[in-house]
Amino acid sequence: MSLTAYVKEIKARAIFDSRGDKTIEVEVRVDGGIGVASVPSGKSRSLKECEPYPKGGVEEALSVVRSVIAPRIRGLDVSRFGAIDSELSEIDGSTRFERIGGNTALATSVATAKAVATSRGVPLYRYLSEELSADVRLPLPLGNILGGGKHAGSGAPDFQEFLVIPLNCKSIHEALEANMIAHKALGSLLSLSVPGYALGRGDEGAYAPPLDNVESLEVVKAAVDLVERERGVKLGIGLDIAGSNLYDPRRRLYSLRSQGLYLSREDYLAFISELADEYNLVYIEDPVWEEDWESFVDLTRSLKRTLVCGDDLLATRAELIGEYSKRGAIKAAIIKPNQVGTLSLTWAAVKASLSNDIVPVSSHRSGETDDAFISHIAVGTGCKVLKAGVVGGERVVKANELLRIAETEADRGSPATIWELHL
Ligand code: 2PG
Ligand code: MG
């Protein structure tokens, strides 16, 4: 095992993501190791997140890697966590990677970390946990089983994601299986109860039926009850409302088109609170639009048993996580590495969450690749929850990676426990 790791070569290529869009994959070679990483793309994006690519898109990002990044990092010792990231920030010079693109930076950052990990003979999560002195534990899988909003066509519910999370599983296998079974059970219930619906799905593999928000919650609850009865597993229900997509700032109304409702802030908050009570929601992400942090505070105060989670509100920025947790606006924070552009900035966001008693949720994007680095980030940095979809190849790779990690830890004689949520 070598303690130094000098960059020998860096390559970039365009590959396709789960929506069939081009994305960037970067390959980094160091002495004794190689790492390959590809990055996802979001459709419901925060105003505060990085621009994914330079103006010329993925093609320009490839030439940035070849002509700007490669000459600067060839020969650099990248063994220390973060060494590559400070170099990338310096090359770019802006706070949101406007010049080289957040996805260009992230693919380089993750590929480098993977290369260093292989040069040390350890998987990525171990490299991260060793460098960051973080405990190795397994996250609770938060899975999207029904969806609408920007991830589906018209006719689907307004809320973007209806999620399930197993709360009392002893093994990661059991937990992941509970989500898979809930997805299947939901499919059976929908085919019985929604005439003419051919079980079409949205971008993340969740069913996208022609139902409104309340009807969707009803059928999700029925699926959850079924799994609980048959398997003895306790499954919580959650939502990612993606509130920014529902709010019309001109009219100051929330539009719930599937229900024909156009609600003022007060009426909308009352509606969300009723749903949280009625369906025992354990998790609500982005209940309101991203500039309305006061409503986040109101909901966090009133919904004592619900994790109110910020995604667009925070954009994985450590300083915003610190600020909004101090204001009492959140109990959980979405951690999406490509919102900030490097592993170091991702770690800063996780650290800010943990030090403020906020649950960090390592998260996929709606357009994903077959790379499972978010599973390694979850295990290696201490994210208590992994939000990664349930079915579909690009989602299942994240689940399967957790199974491999669990086995690796067990084989080392130190079986990893699963995080618990204290609601
Ligand atoms: C979200 C994500 C992932 P997108 O809003 O949390 O589910 O969607 O990647 O489109 O931003
Ligand atoms: Mg979200």
368 C-alpha to ligand 2 centroid (Å): 14
DSSP state of 295: H
Instruction: Say whether pLDDT at 65 is over 70.
Output: yes
Which residue has its alpha carbon closest to ligand 1 atom 4?
42
- The phi and psi torsions of 248 (rounded to 5 degrees) equal -105, 100
Neighbours of 26 (CB within 10 A): 28
Superfamily of domain 7-121: Enolase-like, N-terminal domain (3.30.390.10)
pTM score of the predicted model:
0.98
Q: pLDDT of 159-208, one tens digit each?
A: 999 999 999 999 999 999 999 999 999 999 999 999 999 999 999 999 99
Domain 132-411: give its CATH code.
3.20.20.120
Q: pLDDT of 260-311, one tens digit each?
A: 999 999 999 999 999 999 999 999 999 999 999 999 999 999 999 999 999 9
395 Cβ closer than 6 Å to some ligand 1 atom: no
44 Cβ closer than 6 Å to some ligand 1 atom: yes
> What are the residue ranges spanned by the domains of the chain?
7-121, 132-411
Q: pLDDT of 204-262, one tens digit each?
A: 999 999 999 999 999 999 999 999 999 999 999 999 999 999 999 999 999 999 999 99
Average pLDDT, integer, range 8-22: 98
**Would you say 60 and 53 are in contact if contact means Cβ atoms under 8 Å apart?**
yes
Q: Which of 17, 18, 46, 160 to mutate to test the pocket of ligand 1 (most atoms within 8 A of CB)?
A: 160
Instruction: Say whether pLDDT at 64 is over 90.
Output: yes
- In this structure, which ligand is nearest to the CA of 204? 1
Q: Does the active-site annotation cover 204?
A: yes
315 C-alpha to ligand 1 centroid (Å): 11
Residue 261 CB-half CA count within 13 A: 17
Average pLDDT, the chain: 97
3-state DSSP helix/strand/coil % of the chain, to nearest 5: 45, 20, 35
Instruction: Say whether pLDDT at 1 is over 60.
Output: no
- In this structure, which ligand is nearest to the CA of 387? 1
